[in-house]
Structure 1
């Protein structure tokens, strides 16, 4: 149109004013963010702001600008704790690479049930973080025993290792952990089916500081392992051998007699553990779970015979 009406001119003027205002707001926000980036990162932004942001918010902040990306990346590289359990189902291997590739200060690494994690991704993390003291890779099915051998040779100060439901774990890897990680205090091998008495005994004899040990649902564990605990684990406070069908009252009694720090014992579904041993432990004030299928009543042989006669009648 060559000519505009008064209303059209007024509308165009309003639109131009709005656009100018929006641009002004954007510029002001950019200026404010630039000022924000001038605040000391290590002294203020990292400990008092970024540490309280969720992983999602950190990645959003990282995408704001190249300067923001640099700041967040530097924050990631300074992390001493990486715990992905709250976001394990939504996180990806690519995101893990971003947060861990420049890390050299990690002490606690919790990847429990992060089923997307693979061994090659962890090799570099372990190699760059020899000061690791807590590692939880429970339920990580895609890993292999090379990870444990690398932990054993690299992370000599390891105190907590959780491998629950890691069916790939074998006895040689556990022996290697025991020989090298002698400061170990908390070990969870629940459902690590390939572990046997021999590998468990080797580890226990080299790790005298054990306080918590979980060996549940491992068929290869017998009273021999418990005898070794009784002789070598004076600081043991928590023991879980639930579902270990080859354990008996004799082994449980030995642990109760010699592991004087013991306060919690789990023996659910241990078929040959009865009140003959558990009553002694309860008398010492030790918490006992409610075991299934353990024998608590021993019928007189004559009563058994009488029951059979009645059934025949």
Structure 2
């Protein structure tokens, strides 16, 4: 509420109140005072209110404002039509389908759509028209949206060719066929989160990553069907990779991590917690490159080498 125009409006209201409390005013003064009195709705809607004031209101406050009068209802609806971002993360599952439809029914220029935690109220029937009407979406976050079907992912692949960030964490109903449209042209995608999507395995990753050469962040935690096949495909196709999470993918082995270390030279972060077949043998090269790994690094590299040599003299070659 620190916008200069709004502060000036409050000042005018204060001055008018002070003048009226000093006694009777002449007709000229009354007419002049009426010219000075303004309401919120008298400010330019698109240039001032929708651009510099309403974006600072929470979703809940916008709906409160919308209920004040018909004018406020029209103002807030204009704001919904012009907005570039829809974010209900702070509301989660307390939102309603009716409120979401009100927010998005006129939206055609959305850039981000963040609906994290909409476990029950968000359905495919509600979301599909929004995706179809907003082809310039760059970020979509559907974490934990359990009521969605795979047709939503298919629609994203068909309509959103400028997508840079896609989060489908814990969307447990997804299968390989839902991603066929993403295997056409997603060259802009830089962030993909499929963590917790239990039905996905090597077949998806191997087919998907060749179409995402700019991928920088790939999160595949708790995909229990993931094996070295996926890591090999990632190593060969995602040379720009910065962060990889395969936490809980217990079938991945040291061999795949060594290949990843060799090919993904830009890697800065790796999550391998609960990957019981990945040992320090494959991680030591990444530690030497200052890659952040969610496992404690040995206190002394010399001590680590001596311990490996004591266990098996042949394994010391992997460290040197």
Tell me the equivalent position of 2:159. 154
For 1:220, which of 195, 210, 225 is the aligned residue?
225
How far, CA to CA, are the matches of 1:206 and 1:32 in structure 2? 60
- Pairing of 1:1-313 with structure 2 (within 5 A): 35-115=39-119, 116-290=121-295
Question: Is the Cα–Cα contact under 8 Å of residues 209 and 237 in structure 2 kept in the other structure?
Answer: yes
Deviation at 1:93, TM superposition (A): 1.5
Question: Is the Cα–Cα contact under 8 Å of residues 164 and 189 in structure 1 kept in the other structure?
Answer: yes
Shift >4 Å, 4+ stretches: 30-34, 296-301
Q: So what's the TM-score if we normalise by structure 1? A: 0.81
How far, CA to CA, are the matches of 1:273 and 1:258 in structure 2? 18
DSSP 3-state at the match of 1:218 = coil
Structure 1: unaligned runs, 5 residues or longer: 1-29, 302-313
Question: Is the Cα–Cα contact under 8 Å of residues 244 and 270 in structure 1 kept in the other structure?
Answer: yes
What is the CA deviation profile of residues 5-47 of structure 1, one whole-angstrom value per residue up to 9, with x for unaligned ones? xxxxxxxxxxxxxxxxxxxxxxxxx999963212111111112
Aligned positions, number: 268
CA-atom RMSD, angstroms? 2.0
Deviation at 1:57, TM superposition (A): 1.5
Q: Relative to structure 1, is the Cα distance of residues 126 and 31 closer, same or farther in structure 2, using a 3 angstrom cutoff?
A: farther
Q: So what's the TM-score if we normalise by structure 2? A: 0.80
Question: Is the Cα–Cα contact under 8 Å of residues 175 and 199 in structure 1 kept in the other structure?
Answer: no
Deviation at 1:181, TM superposition (A): 2.1
Tell me the equivalent position of 1:304. none
Largest Rg, 1 or 2: 1
Question: Is the Cα–Cα contact under 8 Å of residues 106 and 132 in structure 1 kept in the other structure?
Answer: yes
Q: Relative to structure 1, is the Cα distance of residues 67 and 242 closer, same or farther in structure 2, using a 3 angstrom cutoff?
A: same
How far, CA to CA, are the matches of 1:132 and 1:278 in structure 2? 37
Q: Relative to structure 1, is the Cα distance of residues 280 and 94 closer, same or farther in structure 2, using a 3 angstrom cutoff?
A: same
Question: Is the Cα–Cα contact under 8 Å of residues 107 and 132 in structure 1 kept in the other structure?
Answer: yes
What is the CA deviation profile of residues 235-267 of structure 1, one whole-angstrom value per residue up to 9, with x for unaligned ones? 100000010011000101111111011000000
What is the CA deviation profile of residues 263-285 of structure 1, one whole-angstrom value per residue up to 9, with x for unaligned ones? 00000000100000011110111
Deviation at 1:196, TM superposition (A): 1.6
